[in-house]
Chains A and B, each alone.
Chain A
Amino acid sequence: MEEEEEGAEEQQRFSHQQRLKAAVHYTVGCLCSEAAADTQVQLSRQAVAAIAEVTFRQCENFAKDLEMFARHARRSTINTEDVKLLARRSNSLLKYITEKNEEIAQLNTERKTKKKKKLEAENKNSVEPAEAGGVESEN
């Protein structure tokens, strides 16, 4: 019974993996066609498939590394720091990620300030607490 369940699980995982692979393959195909259009270089189907396979395996590696990094920092959640550590080899990629991270951080802080202002405004206006509650819940 357990074996059957495990087998079913395996199959499920396998099919899930296959679906993921297919998604990756599709995305890689789109990117490759874009690149081919840019550089006037054709990519054969085998090449695209190879790239997709490599991407998939590399993603697996990334996931394992990210988990290891998070655990190394005694965290249970993967952080942007882990991602940056992962991308440290490629300078441009690291820069890109850092910039994006800063952007997102900025957005977050902006949102926070907005929230605070709203809350303060709400409190100052002393609108009905229900509204404030509603606003807070929205936030």
Chain B
Amino acid sequence: MEGSYIPDSEPTTRTLLRRLLDTEDPHTPRGRQSTRASARRTPLETPFSMRLRSQTKTTTRRHSHGARSIGRLAHIQTSGRLKEQTPRTLLENILLTAPESSMVVPESALKPVPAPQVVQSPSGESSRGSLELQLPELKPPTTLAPGLLLALGKRKQRLRLSEFQQGVDQELPLSPGPLTEPHGNAGASSLTSSLNLALATPPVPQSVQRPGLARRPPTRRAVDVGAFLQDLQDTSVALALPGDSLRTPVATLPTDTVLEDTQPFSQPLIGRSPNVRHSLPCPSSSAERTVGRRTQSSGPRLQNNSPGRPDQLLVGKAEEVDALAVGFPNTSNSSSGEDGLQPLQDGVGEEAEDVMEESLSMSDEEEAAGAQGSARAEEPKTHKEGTEAEGSWGATEAKELEGPSRDKDTAGRTGSPELTSITLEFQQARQLEFLEPAQPTSTAVGLFRQQSIPAPSLPPEPLSARRPPRARTAGPRLRQDPYKTGLSHYAKLFSFYTKMPMEKAALEMVEKCLDKYFQHLCDDLEVFAAHAGRKTVRPEDLELLLRRQGLVTDQVSLHVLVERHLPLQYRQLLIPCAFSGNTVFPAQ
């Protein structure tokens, strides 16, 4: 058989099959294809062989190919009937020799299928004809030449991948394939299902699905806050150096206050402002958000810092410490963290203070940035002072969960159950800050210190109190998503402007960088406000920030930027517009 070259297209498949049977079977379909390819090169260049090659080479399965192959299959089938070696026997040989790889799954799974068919059909030509008729109906891989088979099988494989996914989703029963790989099993199951489909309607399985283009729908994994918190706990407990172990927080970025920061215009600020403003006083959705976000972002921050410079690490720590400002009542891990964080104290001291102020004013800034001016700015101030008097940083967090007037301890305990674990190492740093009697340079800082001083009383509370409240994660989950949504929005913009497809890892890196960047911006804003002796971020601070960025120049003022980029509803919040009745909004 080897030497027989039939001028027609038939010999190629048969000879190929033969060669395949004779040569050792590689363990991968690719290897098989390569051998096939090498074997194929020798035979005559027939359109069929060329098509074979093209089929095997092209990864995109096209319906046309399938159709063509099917036609070819039929043709070959009819011609093959003349010879002793029927495609059936050849196929069986192939199947017998086929390696147990995922690619082979369909073929092995096909084994039982063609076998019964073979059994069913009488050995007569008529039966053969019927079988052959059936075979083309079957998925092409089950028929004909190994090249075709494997190529189509591979195509089938790809197709079945999507089917597999669907099957998994629908929980299709898995066929008892001999394969160990789950993929293989799934492939087999899908294969069988597709085979059934094929038997019913011939080329249906070879749908227009293009594996290359078939994309898995973006599985939005709901943020499992409990698991995340557990991870945080574990990582923080095991945290020798911050930053290395903080892999888990990167995935989930909580709180939507940052969302507001990143997308100040995407949500109605008026509606949101009350929530955000209440970072101190009111139910701490925002506070929790802030903390969560901070801690989460500090996670990636740390992570990014660690490979970088120790300075940045300290800075990052300071920023996280700031995040902890909200969650500082949960100083439970302070004792454990102290040792590790000793060296950070001094360097982080001032940073922490600034960061604290930043955290305070950040929410304000977000509002101030997009919202009205002083009137609103005053509110959080008073709120701040009010709550600070209570010493209820943690209370703010707790408020959301439990009522507003919480004790610091209780607040710390319950208020930030989710946050505590999140902010573990940062809390440690935070506690260090608080414990260290660094002279408060500003009143705000002093206020913070007042609040922080009682915090150490909470340390003994650590895990036990934290665990039970963690069940209440329905809230934070929603809050975490918007933050991540904001970042992913910008990441998508990024990928759009690159005009090239981007890897997921690259997109994640972009998100991380954006997160760090926005963190820096917010910290800067807070620092600027503090520099001017204020506790609230005002448009002047933003102007300074944008000036540093180079967006606001002597030629381009902030108003110009606002007019250029903001939609009208936000613009009229910033730039006073005269309305009917001689009212000017926003009131100056």
Give A residues with C-beta under 8 Å from B.
65, 68-69, 72-74, 81-82, 84-85, 88-95, 98
Q: Does B347 contact A (CB under 8 A)?
A: yes
Contact B351 A88 (CB under 8 A): yes
Within 8 A of A (CB), among B280-339: 311, 314-315, 318
Contact B533 A91 (CB under 8 A): no
**Chain A residues, Cβ within 8 Å of B528:** 72, 85
Contact A72 B532 (CB under 8 A): yes
A109–B531 CA distance with the chains assembled, in angstroms: 24
When A68-B544, A72-B544, A90-B311 are in contact, do A81 and B531 touch as well, CB less than 8 Å?
yes
Closest to B316 in A: A91
Within 8 A of A (CB), among B541-581: 541, 544, 547-548
Contact B540 A65 (CB under 8 A): no
A92–B547 CA distance with the chains assembled, in angstroms: 26
With A69-B531, A93-B311, A95-B346 already in contact, 14 other A-B pairs whose C-beta atoms are closer than 8 Å: A65-B548, A68-B544, A68-B547, A72-B532, A72-B544, A85-B527, A85-B531, A88-B527, A89-B311, A89-B315, A91-B348, A92-B311, A92-B347, A98-B350
Contact A95 B347 (CB under 8 A): yes
**Shortest 10 CB-CB contacts between residues of A and residues of B:** A91-B314, A91-B347, A91-B311, A72-B544, A90-B311, A73-B532, A95-B347, A85-B531, A91-B315, A92-B311
A68: contacting residue among B315, B346, B348, B548, CB under 8 A: B548
Taking the closest CB of chain A, its distance from the CB of B413, in whole angstroms, is: 32
Across the A-B interface, how many residue pairs have beta carbons closer than 8 Å?
47
30 A-B Cβ contacts within 8 A?
Answer: A65-B548, A68-B544, A68-B547, A69-B531, A72-B528, A72-B532, A72-B540, A72-B544, A73-B532, A82-B531, A84-B350, A85-B531, A88-B350, A88-B354, A88-B527, A89-B311, A90-B311, A90-B315, A91-B311, A91-B314, A91-B318, A91-B347, A91-B348, A92-B311, A92-B347, A93-B311, A94-B347, A95-B346, A95-B347, A98-B350
Contact B532 A74 (CB under 8 A): yes
Taking the closest CB of chain B, its distance from the CB of A115, in whole angstroms, is: 25
A91–B350 CA distance with the chains assembled, in angstroms: 9
**Chain A residues, Cβ within 8 Å of B318:** 91
**Chain B residues, Cβ within 8 Å of A88:** 350-351, 354, 527
Which of A72, A93, A98 has the most B CB atoms < 10 Å from its CB?
A72
Taking the closest CB of chain A, its distance from the CB of B438, in whole angstroms, is: 11
Taking the closest CB of chain A, its distance from the CB of B579, in whole angstroms, is: 32
**Chain A residues, Cβ within 8 Å of B544:** 68-69, 72
**Chain A residues, Cβ within 8 Å of B548:** 65, 68
A98–B528 CA distance with the chains assembled, in angstroms: 18
Closest to A98 in B: B350
Within 8 A of A (CB), among B123-165: none
When A68-B544, A72-B544, A73-B532 are in contact, do A94 and B350 touch as well, CB less than 8 Å?
yes
Closest to A71 in B: B544
Contact B531 A94 (CB under 8 A): no
Closest to A65 in B: B548
Contact A73 B531 (CB under 8 A): yes
When A68-B544, A68-B547, A68-B548 are in contact, do A91 and B531 touch as well, CB less than 8 Å?
no
Taking the closest CB of chain B, its distance from the CB of A72, in whole angstroms, is: 5
**Chain A residues, Cβ within 8 Å of B527:** 85, 88
Which of A65, A69, A82, A91 has the most B CB atoms < 10 Å from its CB?
A91
A31–B315 CA distance with the chains assembled, in angstroms: 27
Taking the closest CB of chain A, its distance from the CB of B525, in whole angstroms, is: 12
Closest to B544 in A: A72
When A68-B547, A91-B351 are in contact, do A73 and B533 touch as well, CB less than 8 Å?
yes
A132–B39 CA distance with the chains assembled, in angstroms: 111
Which of A65, A74, A84, A94 has the most B CB atoms < 10 Å from its CB?
A94
Taking the closest CB of chain B, its distance from the CB of A57, in whole angstroms, is: 14
A92–B314 CA distance with the chains assembled, in angstroms: 9
**Chain B residues, Cβ within 8 Å of A85:** 527-528, 531
A21–B346 CA distance with the chains assembled, in angstroms: 36
**Chain A residues, Cβ within 8 Å of B314:** 91-92
**Chain B residues, Cβ within 8 Å of A91:** 311, 314-315, 318, 347-348, 351
A94–B441 CA distance with the chains assembled, in angstroms: 15
**Chain B residues, Cβ within 8 Å of A98:** 350
Closest to A81 in B: B531
A74–B531 CA distance with the chains assembled, in angstroms: 10
**Chain A residues, Cβ within 8 Å of B532:** 72-74
A92–B540 CA distance with the chains assembled, in angstroms: 29
Contact A72 B311 (CB under 8 A): no
**Chain B residues, Cβ within 8 Å of A82:** 531
A110–B311 CA distance with the chains assembled, in angstroms: 33
Taking the closest CB of chain B, its distance from the CB of A75, in whole angstroms, is: 10
**Chain B residues, Cβ within 8 Å of A68:** 544, 547-548
Taking the closest CB of chain A, its distance from the CB of B294, in whole angstroms, is: 18
A92–B533 CA distance with the chains assembled, in angstroms: 24
Taking the closest CB of chain B, its distance from the CB of A93, in whole angstroms, is: 8
**Chain A residues, Cβ within 8 Å of B347:** 91-92, 94-95
**Chain B residues, Cβ within 8 Å of A90:** 311, 315
**Chain A residues, Cβ within 8 Å of B315:** 89-91
**Chain B residues, Cβ within 8 Å of A81:** 531
Closest to A69 in B: B531
Within 8 A of A (CB), among B434-454: none
**Chain A residues, Cβ within 8 Å of B346:** 95
Q: Contact mask B200-221 → A, CB, 8 Å, 1/0?
A: 0000000000000000000000
Q: Contact mask B511-547 → A, CB, 8 Å, 1/0?
A: 0000000000000000110011100000011001001
Taking the closest CB of chain B, its distance from the CB of A98, in whole angstroms, is: 7
Contact B531 A72 (CB under 8 A): yes
